[in-house]
């Protein structure tokens, strides 16, 4: 096969992979880089000729995989977009939100190219979406040749899939973002367990070694205990989360905890997109028993939307739990403004539940120490760090050792390293050596041939 990574900066970001196998050319995912905006945030689509893709596959609806799909599909008008049923529901809401965000950024950041796509592009994209059943091979044909696409449950977030490609010559597996362990609201991956020729594996957690004493359930217990202590001393809890997946999971965790009095009943505030997605999760869970979610959780918690006009640095409107995006405190997001109002008070706490890139405000905060001044650059505002800052390991990605063990089971001839920072990929390149495969850590925008 031929392999081309169109994510111009490497690492994790604007994910988009182009492959050629058995006479077909296809792309997997087309994301937006969460740290950039405008043209800088999209994959280098122009590296491939317009209308040259036979099909496109979406692995899941996080924006680093989905955010520029309307652009890619606009450039490849005949390519059907293959995806799982939950993704077909979630993609609509995520992309329409993405247009609103880009319209706002147009003025805030003075980027004239924004929005990068409009409602019309979404209509075209939705028309070309084809929902595939999981573990049911789907055959595409062209010039007397055929290729088979099979999606497998990948855990991670509702609708996430690994992708198996089969031609008469070879079998390829793309793990996508994958989590083998189950979560409160979502079952773990049901991965392919047959030999493959080429494996494209995610490498997100290459640098994080799992401390055996910190398993998922014990992390949840510790997070709730920290919240209980904070609320009992009159403080508020800020939990920065991804709006898609992590927020719904945390809603269920908090609701259960309040019901068994593990934490006191206080107001719970959520950001808008996450609350909207609650309805979509509810709909999806009616059609699959792998997702356990009911929108009643919002009523049970008395969850309310975050007040609209929040002033940076001003005390939170009332004591409570603030479950708001973004997960990494990216500038101008609800969690960023809430952090600016909560950081200076030592009764409060900020509890991170996922990975924070070191260059984001969340990453910088995790790197700082108590008492230091912390600058909220876009507000030109400084707060001393007095709130308690903690991080819990509730990642949506498989542990690195689990991924190595998985690669071993598939005994591939070639392994491409994907979706990971340079150092994380290095760890995998080393750890995968005993398998004896040809390990490729692809440079962006270069073709590789196996
Ligand atoms: Zn993801
Ligand atoms: Zn991702």
Q: What is the pLDDT of residue 73?
A: 98
H-run or E-run covering 86: helix 85-108
C-alpha of residue 87 to centroid of ligand 1, in Å: 12
Least confident of 105-109, 246-250, 400-404: 105-109
Mean pLDDT of 114-143: 97
Is residue 211 pLDDT above 90, yes or no? no
Identify the nearest ligand to the CA of 202 by its number: 2
DSSP 164: E
Same fold for the domain at 2-208+396-449 and the one at 216-391?
Answer: no
Give Cβ neighbours of residue 422 (< 8 Å, ≥ 6 apart): 10, 11
Which of 131, 33, 44, 50 lies closest to 90 in space, CA to CA? 131
Q: Name the β-bridge partners of 138.
A: 149
Identify the nearest ligand to the CA of 28 by its number: 2
Distance 136 CA to ligand 2 centre (A): 24
Measure 64 CA to ligand 2 centroid, in angstroms.
6
* Mean pLDDT on 158-182: 97
Strands (E), 387-430: 388-391, 414-418
> What is the SS3 assignment for 189?
coil
**CATH 3.40.50.10890 corresponds to the domain 216-391:** yes
Q: How confident is the model at residue 308 (pLDDT cuts 50, 70, 90)?
A: confident
Distance CA 228, CA 79 (A): 51
Using the predicted structure, report yes or no on whether residue 281 has a pLDDT greater than 90. Answer: yes
Asked if residue 165 has pLDDT above 90, the reply is yes
Query: What pLDDT was estimated at residue 226?
Result: 98
pLDDT tens-digit map of 377-436: 999 999 999 999 999 999 899 999 999 999 999 999 999 999 999 999 999 999 999 999
Q: CA 24, 29, 34 angle in degrees (round to 5)?
A: 155
What is the structure's pLDDT at 214? 86
pLDDT at 25: 98
pLDDT score of 315 more than 90:
no
State in Å: Cα 386 to ligand 1 middle: 32
Looking at the predicted structure, is the pLDDT value of residue 153 above 90?
Answer: yes
Element (H, E) at 278: helix 272-285
Give tens-digit pLDDT for 135-150.
999 999 999 999 999 9
Per-residue pLDDT of 60-102, as tens digits, reads 999 999 999 999 999 999 999 999 999 999 999 999 999 999 9
Domain ranges for the chain:
2-208+396-449, 216-391
Q: What is the pLDDT of residue 399?
A: 95
pLDDT one-digit tens code per residue, 22-41: 999 999 999 999 889 999 99
Judge contact between 362 and 240, C-beta under 8 A.
Answer: yes
Could you tell me the distance, in angstroms and rounded to a whole number, from the CA of residue 196 to the centre of ligand 1? 23
Output the CA 419–ligand 2 centroid distance in Å: 7
Given this model, what pLDDT does residue 213 score?
84
326-385: pLDDT as tens digits: 999 999 899 999 999 999 999 999 999 988 888 899 999 999 999 999 999 999 999 999
In percent, the amount of the chain with pLDDT more than 70 equals 100
205-217 mean pLDDT? 88
Domain range 2-208+396-449, CATH architecture: 4-Layer Sandwich (3.60)
């Amino acid at each position: 096969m031929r392999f081309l990574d169109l994510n111009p900066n490497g690492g994790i970001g604007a994910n988009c992979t182009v492959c050629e196998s058995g006479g077909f050319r296809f792309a997997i995912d087309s994301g937006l880089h969460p740290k950039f905006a405008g043209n800088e945030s999209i994959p280098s689509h122009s590296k491939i000729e317009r209308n040259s893709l036979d099909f496109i596959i979406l692995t899941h609806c996080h924006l680093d995989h989905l955010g520029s799909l309307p652009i890619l599909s606009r450039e490849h008008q005949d390519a059907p977009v293959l995806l799982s049923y939950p993704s077909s529901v979630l993609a609509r809401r995520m992309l329409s939100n993405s247009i609103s965000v880009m319209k706002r950024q147009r003025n805030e950041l003075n980027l004239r190219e924004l929005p990068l796509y409009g409602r019309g592009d979404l209509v075209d994209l939705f028309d070309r979406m084809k929902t595939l059943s999981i573990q049911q091979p789907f055959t595409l044909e062209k010039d007397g040749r055929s290729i088979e696409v099979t999606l497998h449950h990948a855990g991670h977030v509702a609708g996430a899939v690994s992708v198996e490609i089969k031609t008469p010559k070879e079998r390829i597996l793309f793990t996508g973002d994958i989590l083998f362990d189950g979560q409160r609201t979502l079952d773990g991956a049901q991965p392919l367990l047959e030999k493959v020729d080429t494996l494209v594996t995610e490498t997100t957690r290459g640098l994080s070694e799992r401390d055996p004493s910190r398993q998922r359930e014990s992390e949840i217990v510790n997070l709730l205990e920290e919240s209980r202590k904070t609320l009992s001393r009159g403080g508020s809890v800020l939990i920065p989360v991804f709006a898609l997946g992590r927020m719904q999971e945390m809603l269920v965790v908090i609701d259960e905890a309040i019901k068994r009095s593990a934490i006191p009943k206080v107001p719970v505030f959520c950001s808008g997109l996450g609350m909207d997605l609650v309805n979509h999760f509810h709909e999806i869970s009616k059609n699959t028993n792998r997702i356990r979610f009911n929108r009643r959780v919002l009523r049970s918690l008395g969850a309310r939307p975050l007040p609209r006009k929040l002033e940076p640095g001003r005390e939170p409107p009332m004591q409570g739990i603030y479950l708001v995006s973004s997960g990494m405190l990216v500038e101008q997001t609800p969690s960023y403004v809430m952090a600016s109002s909560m950081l200076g008070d030592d009764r409060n706490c900020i509890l991170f539940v996922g990975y924070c890139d070191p260059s984001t405000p969340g990453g910088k905060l995790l790197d700082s120490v108590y008492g230091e001044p912390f600058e909220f650059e876009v507000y030109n505002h400084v707060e001393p760090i007095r709130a308690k800052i903690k991080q819990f390991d509730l990642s949506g990605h498989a542990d690195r050792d689990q991924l190595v063990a998985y690669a071993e089971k598939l005994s591939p001839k070639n392994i491409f390293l994907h979706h990971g920072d340079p150092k994380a990929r290095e760890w995998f390149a080393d750890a995968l050596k005993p398998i004896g495969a040809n390990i490729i850590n692809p440079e962006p925008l270069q073709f590789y041939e196996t």
